[in-house]
């Protein structure tokens, strides 16, 4: 078996006495869209934060393309091709959409200890930014400050920022959170296009979207992975049913 793009081994993270991540092991293959689902408080965001380096695990390891990145700070993981979107939109509010994306491109284009030339006039960076904005359908909003974008537009911009760094692996933390029906549909369409270009780990509550998009699904309950497999397997898994999907309406419709 070839080395998976992302391999997580026996990851443990506690908060006080609570095991938020309980011996989690995962493998994400190159090219797949791997969804992580689980009820509220299952430790999904905690897991993502450890993958991106915003939170340190107490034990266990994380490998990106075979390389142990468990102790790397967030910015180094990003440099190695790991990009994330935040559950709660986290952009640079006083910058324009184009600036937000261009900065991501800049981060992956050598160091930024350049003090004199106007960065907003660098063709290379601007072109990457335009392409990424175009990809998510925001090109006509490029010069608008983030604080004046709608919530849906901000979610799309999150994606554009992640794309602009040309990642190997995209970690999306609830990209559909807070979106209306039409916006959600747009996002699903966008993700279904993106999954052909990049490996994606998707944390999402919207079950319809998850089962439509995912190649494989891992189910997280109380910090543990109780099942991992293709959507059909997960649907049929007794333990998952009992622990989580027993709640019928969740399977069919969410929110």
Name the residues that contact another protein, by CB under 8 A: 52-54, 73-76, 78-79, 83-84, 86, 90-95, 99, 103-104, 106-108, 112-120, 122, 161, 165
Cβ at position 235, least distance to another protein in Å: 33
In the sheet with 224-229, reading across from the earlier edge strand, the strands are 82-85, 169-173, 199-203, 33-37, 216-221, 224-229
CA distance 162 to 27: 21
Nearer to another protein, 173 or 219 (CB): 173
Cβ at position 114, least distance to another protein in Å: 4
Nearer to another protein, 127 or 238 (CB): 127
Grouping H, G, I as helix, E, B as strand and the rest as coil, residue 83 is strand
Residue in this structure with the two tokens 């999402």, named with its chain if needed: 204
Q: Where are the alpha helices (DSSP H) in the chain?
A: 44-52, 74-79, 97-107, 123-135, 151-164, 181-194, 207-213, 231-236, 238-240, 248-252
For the stretch 137-167, what's the b/e string if a residue is b when 16 or more beta carbons lie within 10 angstroms of its beta carbon? ebbebbeeebeebeebbbbbbbbbbbbbbeb
Cβ at position 223, least distance to another protein in Å: 21
Residues 6 or more apart whose Cβ sits within 8 Å of residue 10:
23, 24, 25, 59, 60, 61
Nearer to another protein, 5 or 48 (CB): 48
Identify any residues that bridge with 24 across adjacent strands, giving them in sequence order.
11
Nearer to another protein, 101 or 243 (CB): 101
Cβ at position 118, least distance to another protein in Å: 5
Cβ at position 138, least distance to another protein in Å: 17
Cβ at position 151, least distance to another protein in Å: 17
CA distance 50 to 56: 6
Nearer to another protein, 95 or 222 (CB): 95
Nearer to another protein, 46 or 184 (CB): 46
CA distance 130 to 65: 29
Phi, psi of 154 (to 5 degrees): -65, -40
Cβ at position 103, least distance to another protein in Å: 6
Nearer to another protein, 81 or 223 (CB): 81
CA distance 83 to 165: 7
């Amino acid at each position: 078996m070839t080395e998976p793009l992302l391999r997580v081994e026996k990851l443990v993270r506690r908060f006080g006495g609570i095991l938020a991540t309980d011996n989690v092991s995962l493998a994400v293959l190159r090219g797949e869209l791997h969804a992580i689902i689980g009820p509220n408080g299952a430790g999904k965001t905690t897991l993502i934060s450890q993958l991106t380096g915003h939170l340190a695990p107490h034990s266990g390891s994380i490998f990106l393309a075979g390389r142990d990145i468990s102790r790397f700070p967030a910015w180094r993981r990003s440099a190695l091709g790991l990009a994330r979107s935040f559950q709660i939109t986290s952009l640079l509010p006083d910058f324009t959409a184009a600036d937000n994306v261009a900065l991501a491109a800049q981060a992956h284009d050598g160091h930024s200890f350049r003090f004199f030339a106007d960065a907003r006039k660098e063709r290379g960076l601007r072109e990457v930014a335009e392409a990424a904005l175009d990809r998510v359908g925001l090109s006509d909003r490029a010069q608008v400050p983030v604080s004046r974008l709608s919530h849906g537009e901000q979610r799309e911009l999150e994606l554009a920022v992640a794309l602009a760094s040309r990642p190997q692996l995209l970690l999306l933390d609830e990209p559909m959170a807070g979106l209306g029906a039409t916006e959600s549909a747009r996002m699903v369409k966008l993700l279904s296009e993106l999954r052909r270009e990049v490996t994606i780990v998707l944390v999402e509550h919207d079950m319809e979207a998850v089962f439509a998009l995912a190649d494989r699904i891992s189910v997280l309950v109380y910090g543990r992975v109780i099942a991992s497999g293709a959507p059909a397997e997960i649907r049929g898994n007794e333990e998952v049913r009992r622990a989580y999907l027993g709640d019928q309406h969740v399977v069919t419709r969410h929110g």
